[in-house]
Structure 1
Amino acid sequence: MKVYVLWHVHHVAVDEAGNVPHFEDGEFSAREDLGDDVKLLGVYSTPGRVEQRIRAARKLPGFRDEPDCFWSAEVEVDEDAWASGYVTE
């Protein structure tokens, strides 16, 4: 079974030129280590429900300040996302 996870990012991180990057190399950018605020809005059964939630959230304080900073992903239920572990430095 697939579900659709939806996040919103309030960007504050700046790059070397002083710009707030919303995308890096064509990919959505979120730099929590530099202050970007990532919020999980919910998990939905269809892409249509994701779009409904985005439309509703864009009317709310905070979300309407960054109306294009929603990001969703299709996720398979009961499928591991980190199967190989990780190392910190």
Structure 2
Amino acid sequence: MGNVYILWHTHTDENLDGGEDIKLIGVYSSELLAEEALQRKSKEKGFKDYLEGFEISRYILDQDAWSSGFVTK
């Protein structure tokens, strides 16, 4: 099985609807490529002020990433 690496950025702000702005930056075939994308984005307007918002997640292809249901209020 192969892996993909997803680069996310989350910005928390009470003024935003829901309090968060989550961006899917990209999907990469290696962790190195995801790290390189993070380095590029970390220099751009907005992102450079919220570096702690970056996250790289590894996902296995052809496998469920969520293994259970969910609960509502």
User: Shorter-chain-normalised TM-score: which range?
Assistant: 0.7 to 0.9
For the residue of structure 1 that corresponds to 2:25, the secondary structure is: strand
Could you report, residue by residue, the CA deviation over 1:2-45 in whole angstroms, capped at 9, with x for unpaired residues?
Answer: 111110111225xxxxxxxxxxxxxxxxxx98512111001111
Shift of 1:58: 1.1
Aligned match for 2:51, one of 67, 72, 83? 67
Partner of 2:5: 4
Gaps of 5+ in 1: 14-31
Q: Using structure 1 for the length normalisation, give the TM-score.
A: 0.69
Structure having the larger proportion of residues in helix: 2
CA distance in 2, matches of 1:72, 1:59: 17
Gaps of 5+ in 2: none
State, as a whole percentage, how many aligned pairs show the same letter.
41
User: Where has structure 1 moved over 4 Å in runs of 4 or more?
Assistant: none
Partner of 1:83: 67
Shift of 1:69: 1.7
The 5 Å alignment of 1:1-89 reads: 1-13=2-14, 34-89=18-73
Q: Tell me the C-alpha RMSD between the 2 structures.
A: 1.9
Structure having the larger proportion of residues in strand: 2
For the residue of structure 1 that corresponds to 2:35, the secondary structure is: helix
